[in-house]
């Protein structure tokens, strides 16, 4: 709605169609179809929406998730061929499809020496062994291609020590144990997933002298407390007791050995021994079935209330086992981890639909292809949608009835699970070209977490095009309610500009959008269907990264009938078409203002007093936000005015360039020298609790307990100047181009 | 010639004029003059060439150099007003003119306590004092606004010690003294200008324990040996015995306290005590009249042959004075330096001529305004040209007979002499906007060093437009010979593509182009008239940075009649018009290939063997250069083909964007973390003697004496990968935009 209001485009674009065609006639490159529209064609849009079929997504998913397809495995390579074949199909393919292959450092458990976690007595007698594979409940958990649970990039080693329970393994958690006087040196720490990143648990543990880390998923965090075999998959969507979340424990993203360089064969590589970001100590994930045996036998103080879970016993801190339990009191936990690093080839698959009018403007749409096991939800639910969307667009293309104004690039990324590797290497290889030409990046990784509501994360300018799109698409199972109307019921906020609207989330580094946003400064978004948060508190869908994330799991529990998959395909497809076909880019840059105002208000409220005591004024920031707001509003007015005149192609291009490049102006590769890739001054990870400008917030957190005049307070002033300069630079690019 | 050959444009552009007008009709923004040409109009170009008047440049110079105008002085501010007035003139002004003001750290000698260099005996009796001001030979060297000679940013201090002679103060020079067993600790080192940068002399000296540095200009290096009063100014253009070269001894560029941030009032500033790049020890420049007294009385070993100069005595190394000379043998040199740092306001003046068709594409043309004293040559000869060019263009503009296709931005930079400060702050403030939109930066600082030949420094793509321009302009005093033909007689090289052509120099950091090229990656050039190198070996014009660089000096000795000033105005004006008005950008990106081939050949010949021994292959680099060559040639072919078709405005824009952004693709802000601002991987300063890829060459120099497998050899491989990645990224941007 606000898009239509501000720019008069979106669903109202038909009015410009006639003009578009007249102008377009002059702008069509030789050989292009003269019937190509110069603006979004609602008929084409509706036709695409109608042609997206749930059953075809279902069949795609069945094929994609038929076998485990771990990055660089034979099946992963077979799926590369499947994608190439689809995208080169003569009746439904794209203009071209290619692969780019990188030689990247992955981490695998040893096949000869499986990782093992045991309880042993001082003589080395083994009293208990954790499972080395998940239970074969559906016949799909036992094959040779099911990689056993492991912590990718955790170093090999065989630490042995008394067990402690460390909650989620955060800094605070270990500090709490230390405060309680628990000797951590040489212990094995049992932690549960959540709270902090995987690798961070090992980093925090090691800093207290812990020798090894076990990680499990507590039924309280994933199954709403349910933990019995008959309460869980295959009887429900719950995580079975033997299920183990695999994952990368690497702290950065991209190939670990080639930061900032594409991992070509000849590229310079760091010595793995000196590469950073790997967990410092052996780590291993286990199922809650095994975690229960360990945790429920611990001795020591009762863990704090917030540390308790749903394993059916009191969680104690250790160290070591209680004398009246299943194990001898002097028993220790032994971890035998035999992971190894391997250089492997991993491919991206890229497909292109050449733009008719502005072929040098790219709308990117991607998802990763690699999974931990069968990966039906993660990532194949997204790939299944991608393939269906490419089929429908490819068919229109091959029929000659449509060609987008701008180029569309579809991507299937490799080795995402190990740390967004394929997408990151791609951004490194094509840094300049992508930065100069990319309008936006759309990510659809897991397309359906659950069937309740849409969930979109993105930078503020995408709000408008997502809202326009979702207002036109019916929500599955809601009797004609639009996706937008259903969404606003589940996730909403009160906007000072628009009133009650769906709430867009912000983008961290959870999927392949990260290098596009943080490294290249490209407007990005991530689209999925998700939970009703009033009905579950699961941190993610229960079988995430386990061998139970299979086609039947999706078909029976996540999205029977695949209507939510179709809804995501329609949403992402509509966004894609609007971005690629609209004469004026449907990115409302004015929507950044609300974010900036909120950041500013938080800074004033929560940091202002102490900043003032240190003679640091927020005045320049207030002024910078005001100037940005003014320039953004004026630019939106100029877009409106131009739409009402008869704009020539260059005038439109110039305005669109201002819209496209806004996000780039927030990039400062020197702002955060210790953060690999993170250069976007508004979205670098924030550690503090105040939702404000992150560089400022982080510097403030580090400074707050230091003396006046410290280097840490100087850095606060520096970060304030960095964000002010970024905002003023952004404002300068939004102003009329001939303003001095 | 090669431009016409490759692209069929340049002087042959008339053929496209008709087409340009037809197309342009559709592309003209509302309100623009409908008579505006859509391509370079040779009639306008010839008219501009004809209207540029030598006598007006002369009058500009007389006014600009009437008074000393040190950065931030009252006269500097008065010239800001003069520029504003000219650029806002109703009949010959631009569309708009503004100032941007920064608060920057400058360095000045104390007025109360003038710097002093003396020879004293152990009891403190003064036997000799160096001049504190230059001799007032023309009545212009005595005023209160003539800043006494000093080394800007050299710290205050009063070191005293025995004198040594250290040649040019390079690392090798001090090593030679050390090898000869000369105790350097606590000495005062007398050095001559040249060889290494000003600040480097003090850095090198301090690393050997030297307590203070004196710097003088040897008549051998500046006057072709002449040193007598009646042989020098005002009797010739030679440097008088009392003349002293002032200068900045700051090692970086930009405001010293705000690296990477615009020096706005509120900006974060480093503590001056912790800012880097200042000379570590007191330094002071003196005239050769005084240097002679010091140097000719030294005792010790005879200095090496290459260290000898033209002061009429044998140069000895010291330490200390010989017993049979003018001073007691135990006399020492005392330096009293009272420089101080001051935050001062310094302004840039910016003027704009709005582009008619592509107002968001900028051609920048600039020069600094501040001088050390009267600065008739440096920088006012350039500013005089700038004002004459702006008068002619402004007059056409106000008459309504011309408006460029792209926007033209004229700039008068502040505080260049202290370290390119005004221009650097400008690039920091408008980083994104400039990087996104700037076609090229033209620098005309000193416009006339001498009257023999044109001299152009620039990146390879500017060669074509400079050649086209200079072939059409007669060289002063050469009876109809073109500037090009005169130039090729003075500076030439044998091109594998074009045969014998004028030789373009490369750009270091000697003037305001540095931040545009090295920090922003903008195609840049510096244009001047200069010496006949067969007639003088002067390192620069003799009165450089002295109080003798006056209007009369220029009028009598440098360019009587100002015909060379006019020739530079015509050259720069023609380049400016071609860049701003041509339908296709006259930048021949294929000309980068010759540079890359030469770099590659040098790497293979001079580094290849040792690289091979360390298992570092140049193969990927060879392949990257070949692919670049192919893509650049193909792009040139596409430009040709498009010119022969009827290109629509967007097609032209898209190709021009590829040409414009090529230079940007060579930028890697993470390639050289220790080099402030330098990000262009092909033009970062090179320390070794091999003219090859500089990052590779520098890493190689540091590695060559280290063991196999050292970190230094790893860095060689890293730098090789960095340049390969940059070339491959550049190639990707040159390829057809829809190539995957």
Structure tokens at A180: 């309680």
Would the pLDDT of A16 be above 70? no
Minimal Cβ distance to A357: which of B359, B650, B732 = B650
Together in a domain, A360 and A423: yes
With an 8 Å Cβ cutoff, is B714 touching chain A? yes
Confidence class for position B731, pLDDT limits 50, 70, 90: very high
Cβ distance of B360 and A737 shorter than 8 Å: yes
Would the pLDDT of A695 be above 80? yes
Residues B393-442 pLDDT 10s: 999 999 999 999 999 999 999 999 999 999 999 999 999 999 999 999 99
Would the pLDDT of A23 be above 90? no
- Measured distance CA(B719)–CA(B714) in Å, rounded: 9
Structure tokens at A489: 């019921």
Query: Does A740 fall in a domain?
Result: no
Query: Does B739 fall in a domain?
Result: no
To the nearest whole Å, the CA of A699 is away from the closest chain B CA by 14
Query: Packing angle between helix A563-581 and helix A483-490, nearest 10 degrees?
Result: 110
Residues B170-209 pLDDT 10s: 999 999 999 999 999 999 999 999 999 999 999 999 999 9
Would the pLDDT of B18 be above 50? no
Q: What is the mean pLDDT of chain B?
A: 94
Q: What is the mean pLDDT of residues A191-212?
A: 98
With an 8 Å Cβ cutoff, is A352 touching chain B? yes
Together in a domain, B185 and B147: yes
Query: Does B597 fall in a domain?
Result: yes
Residues with Cβ within 8 Å of residue A541, at least 6 apart in sequence? A237, A377, A446, A449, A450, A549, A558
Instruction: Report the number of distinct structural domains present in chain B.
Output: 3
Task: State the complex-level ipTM.
Answer: 0.93
Would the pLDDT of A18 be above 60? no
Query: Does A599 fall in a domain?
Result: yes
- Higher per-residue pLDDT: B416 or B1: B416
Q: What is the mean pLDDT of residues B250-268?
A: 97
To the nearest whole Å, the CA of B592 is away from the closest chain A CA by 17
Interface test with B, best of A433, A437, A646, A675 (most B CBs within 10 A): A433
- Measured distance CA(B368)–CA(A95) in Å, rounded: 52
With an 8 Å Cβ cutoff, is A373 touching chain B? no
Provide, as residue numbers in chain B, all residues whose Cβ is less than 8 Å from the Cβ of A678: none
Q: What is the dihedral of CA B112, B116, B118, B122, to 10 degrees?
A: 60
Q: What percent of chain A has pLDDT over 90?
A: 92
Q: What percent of chain B has pLDDT over 70?
A: 95
Would the pLDDT of B160 be above 70? yes
- Measured distance CA(B426)–CA(B430) in Å, rounded: 6
To the nearest whole Å, the CA of B378 is away from the closest chain A CA by 27
Confidence class for position A498, pLDDT limits 50, 70, 90: very high
CA A357 to chain CA centroid, nearest Å: 32
Cβ distance of A721 and B355 shorter than 8 Å: no
* Chain B: residue whose CA lies nearest to A25: B648
Together in a domain, B551 and B449: yes
CA B204 to chain CA centroid, nearest Å: 23
pLDDT of residue B261: 98
Together in a domain, A156 and A265: yes
With an 8 Å Cβ cutoff, is A641 touching chain B? no
Q: What is the interface size between A and B, counted as CB pairs within 8 Å?
A: 179
Would the pLDDT of A200 be above 70? yes
Provide, as residue numbers in chain B, all residues whose Cβ is less than 8 Å from the Cβ of A97: 740
Token pair 């192919």 in the structure block, residue: B630
Together in a domain, B209 and B81: no
> Which of the listed residues B298, B318, B338 is the one where a domain comes to its end?
B338
Q: What is the mean pLDDT of chain A?
A: 94
Q: What is the mean pLDDT of residues A59-86?
A: 98
- Which domain covers residue A726, as residue numbers? 589-734
Residues B467-491 pLDDT 10s: 999 999 999 998 989 999 999 999 9
Residues B616-666 pLDDT 10s: 999 999 999 999 999 999 999 999 999 998 889 999 999 999 999 999 999
Cβ distance of B29 and A732 shorter than 8 Å: no
Provide, as residue numbers in chain A, all residues whose Cβ is less than 8 Å from the Cβ of B695: none
Together in a domain, B615 and B546: no
Residues B53-97 pLDDT 10s: 999 999 999 999 999 999 999 999 999 999 999 999 999 999 999
Confidence class for position A2, pLDDT limits 50, 70, 90: very low
Cβ distance of B737 and A407 shorter than 8 Å: yes
With an 8 Å Cβ cutoff, is B32 touching chain A? no
> Which of the listed residues B304, B338, B372 is the one where a domain comes to its end?
B338
CB burial of residue B474 (10 Å; 0-12, 13-18, 19+): middle
Together in a domain, A411 and A507: yes
Q: Which of residues 482-521 of A touch B (CB under 8 A)?
A: none
Interface test with A, best of B360, B580, B728 (most A CBs within 10 A): B360
Which domain CATH number covers B239?
3.50.30.30
Confidence class for position A445, pLDDT limits 50, 70, 90: very high
Residues with Cβ within 8 Å of residue A148, at least 6 apart in sequence? A109, A114, A115, A132, A133
Considering A416, A417, A428, A715, which one is annotated as catalytic? A416
To the nearest whole Å, the CA of A289 is away from the closest chain B CA by 48
Together in a domain, B533 and B668: no
Would the pLDDT of A55 be above 80? yes
* Chain A: residue whose CA lies nearest to B710: A271
Residues with Cβ within 8 Å of residue A17, at least 6 apart in sequence? A37, A38, A39, A41
To the nearest whole Å, the CA of B79 is away from the closest chain A CA by 19
Cβ distance of A729 and B357 shorter than 8 Å: no
pLDDT of residue B689: 86
Would the pLDDT of B695 be above 60? yes
Query: Does B359 fall in a domain?
Result: yes
pLDDT of residue B38: 80
Which domain CATH number covers B575?
3.40.630.10
Residues A510-531 pLDDT 10s: 999 999 999 999 999 999 999 9
Q: What is the mean pLDDT of residues A446-457?
A: 98
User: Does B358 participate in catalysis according to the annotation?
Assistant: no
Together in a domain, A541 and A466: yes
Q: Is the dihedral of CA A388, A394, A400, A404 positive or negative?
A: positive
Query: Does B225 fall in a domain?
Result: yes
> Which of the listed residues A288, A306, A338 is the one where a domain comes to its end?
A338
Cβ distance of B262 and A740 shorter than 8 Å: no
To the nearest whole Å, the CA of A698 is away from the closest chain B CA by 17
- Structural contact between residues A49 and A574, judged by C-beta atoms closer than 8 angstroms: yes
Would the pLDDT of A203 be above 60? yes
Together in a domain, A330 and A359: no
pLDDT of residue B740: 86
Q: Which of these, B57, B109, B132, B70, lies nearest to B378 by C-alpha position? A: B70
CB burial of residue B690 (10 Å; 0-12, 13-18, 19+): middle
Largest CA distance in chain B: 87
Residues A297-341 pLDDT 10s: 999 999 999 999 999 999 999 999 999 999 998 999 999 999 999
Would the pLDDT of A49 be above 70? yes
* Chain A: residue whose CA lies nearest to B407: A738
Q: What is the mean pLDDT of residues B672-683?
A: 97
Query: Does A223 fall in a domain?
Result: yes
Confidence class for position B286, pLDDT limits 50, 70, 90: very high
Residues A607-616 pLDDT 10s: 999 999 999 9
Would the pLDDT of A21 be above 80? no
Minimal Cβ distance to A359: which of B260, B268, B738 = B738
Q: What percent of chain A has pLDDT over 70?
A: 95
Together in a domain, A401 and A364: yes
Q: Which of residues 245-284 of A touch B (CB under 8 A)?
A: 260-262, 264, 266-268, 271
The DSSP-derived string for A33-96 is -TT--SS--HHHHHHHHHH--HHHHHHHHHHHTSS---TTSHHHHHHHHHHHHHHT-TTT--SE
Query: Does B30 fall in a domain?
Result: yes
Q: Residue A533: which H helix or E strand, with range?
A: none
pLDDT of residue B13: 35
pLDDT of residue B14: 35
- Higher per-residue pLDDT: A149 or B26: A149
pLDDT of residue B37: 58
Together in a domain, B248 and B322: yes
Would the pLDDT of B380 be above 90? yes
Q: How many CB atoms lie within 10 A of CB A204?
A: 23
Considering B67, B416, B425, B428, which one is annotated as catalytic? B416
Confidence class for position A37, pLDDT limits 50, 70, 90: low
- Measured distance CA(A320)–CA(A330) in Å, rounded: 7
- Measured distance CA(B107)–CA(B447) in Å, rounded: 27
pLDDT of residue A573: 98
């Amino acid at each position: 709605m606000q898009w239509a209001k501000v720019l008069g485009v979106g669903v109202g674009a038909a009015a410009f169609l006639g003009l578009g065609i007249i102008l377009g006639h002059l702008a069509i490159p030789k050989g292009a179809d003269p019937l190509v529209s110069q603006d979004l064609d609602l008929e084409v849009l509706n036709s695409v929406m109608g042609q997206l079929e749930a059953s075809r997504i279902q069949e795609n998913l069945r094929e994609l998730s038929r076998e485990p397809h771990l990055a660089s495995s034979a099946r992963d390579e077979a799926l590369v061929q499947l994608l190439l074949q689809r995208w080169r199909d003569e009746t439904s393919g794209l203009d071209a499809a290619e692969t780019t292959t990188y030689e990247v450092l992955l981490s695998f458990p040893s096949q000869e020496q499986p990782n093992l976690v045991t309880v042993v007595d001082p003589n080395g007698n083994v009293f208990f062994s954790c499972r080395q594979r998940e239970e074969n409940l559906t016949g799909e958990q036992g094959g040779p291609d099911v990689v056993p649970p492991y912590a990718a990039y955790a170093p090999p080693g065989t630490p042995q020590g008394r067990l402690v329970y460390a909650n989620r393994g955060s800094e605070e958690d270990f500090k709490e144990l230390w405060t309680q006087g628990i000797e951590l040196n040489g212990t094995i720490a049992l932690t549960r997933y959540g709270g902090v990143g995987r690798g961070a648990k090992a980093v925090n543990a090691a800093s207290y002298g812990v020798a090894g880390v076990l990680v499990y998923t507590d039924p309280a965090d994933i199954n709403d407390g349910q933990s019995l075999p008959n309460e869980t998959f295959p009887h429900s969507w719950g995580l079975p007791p033997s299920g183990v979340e695999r994952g990368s424990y690497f702290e950065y993203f991209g190939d670990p050995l080639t930061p900032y360089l594409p991992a070509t064969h000849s590229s310079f590589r760091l010595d793995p021994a000196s590469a950073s970001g790997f967990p410092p100590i052996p780590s291993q994930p286990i199922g809650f079935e095994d975690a229960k045996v360990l945790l429920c036998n611990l001795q020591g103080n009762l863990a704090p209330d917030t540390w308790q879970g749903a394993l059916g016993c009191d969680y104690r801190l250790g160290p070591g086992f209680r004398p009246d339990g299943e194990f001898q009191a002097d028993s220790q936990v032994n971890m035998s981890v035999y992971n190894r690093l391997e250089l492997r080839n991993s491919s991206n698959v890229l497909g292109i639909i050449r733009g008719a009018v502005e072929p040098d403007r790219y709308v990117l749409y991607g998802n990763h292809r690699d999974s931990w096991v069968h990966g039906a939800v993660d990532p194949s639910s997204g790939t299944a949608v991608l393939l269906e969307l490419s089929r429908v667009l490819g068919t229109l293309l091959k029929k000659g009835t449509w060609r987008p104004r701008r180029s569309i690039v579809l991507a299937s990324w490799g080795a995402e699970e190990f740390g967004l590797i394929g997408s990151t290497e791609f951004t490194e290889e094509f840094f300049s070209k992508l930065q100069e030409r990319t309008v936006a990046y759309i990510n659809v990784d897991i397309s359906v977490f659950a069937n309740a509501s849409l969930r979109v994360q993105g930078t503020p300018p995408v709000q408008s095009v997502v809202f326009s799109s979702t207002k036109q698409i019916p929500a599955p199972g809601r009797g004609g309610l639009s996706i937008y109307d259903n969404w606003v019921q589940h996730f909403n906020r009160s906007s000072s500009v628009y009133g009650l609207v769906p709430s867009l989330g912000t983008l961290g580094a959870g999927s392949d959008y990260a290098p596009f946003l943080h490294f290249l400064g490209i407007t990005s978004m991530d689209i999925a269907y998700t939970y009703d948060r009033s009905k579950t508190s699961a941190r993610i869908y229960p079988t995430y990264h386990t061998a139970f994330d299979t086609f039947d799991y999706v078909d029976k529990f996540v999205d029977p009938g695949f209507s939510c998959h179709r809804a995501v395909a329609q949403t992402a497809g509509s966004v894609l078409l609007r971005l690629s076909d609209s004469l004026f880019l449907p990115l409302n840059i004015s929507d950044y203002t609300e974010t900036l105002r909120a950041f500013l208000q938080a800074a004033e409220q929560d940091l202002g007093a102490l900043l003032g005591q240190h003679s640091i004024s927020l005045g320049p920031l207030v002024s910078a936000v005001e100037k940005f707001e003014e320039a953004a509003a004026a630019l939106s007015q100029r877009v409106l005015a131009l739409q009402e005149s008869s704009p020539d192609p260059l005038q439109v291009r110039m305005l669109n360039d201002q819209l496209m490049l806004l996000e780039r102006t927030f990039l400062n590769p020197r702002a955060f020298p210790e953060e690999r890739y993170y250069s976007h001054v508004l979205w670098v990870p924030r550690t503090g609790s105040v939702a404000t400008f992150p560089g400022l917030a982080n510097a403030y957190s580090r400074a707050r307990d230091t003396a006046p005049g410290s280097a840490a307070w100087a850095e606060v002033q520096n970060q304030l100047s960095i964000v002010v300069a970024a905002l003023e630079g952004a404002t300068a690019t939004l102003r009329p181009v001939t303003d001095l």
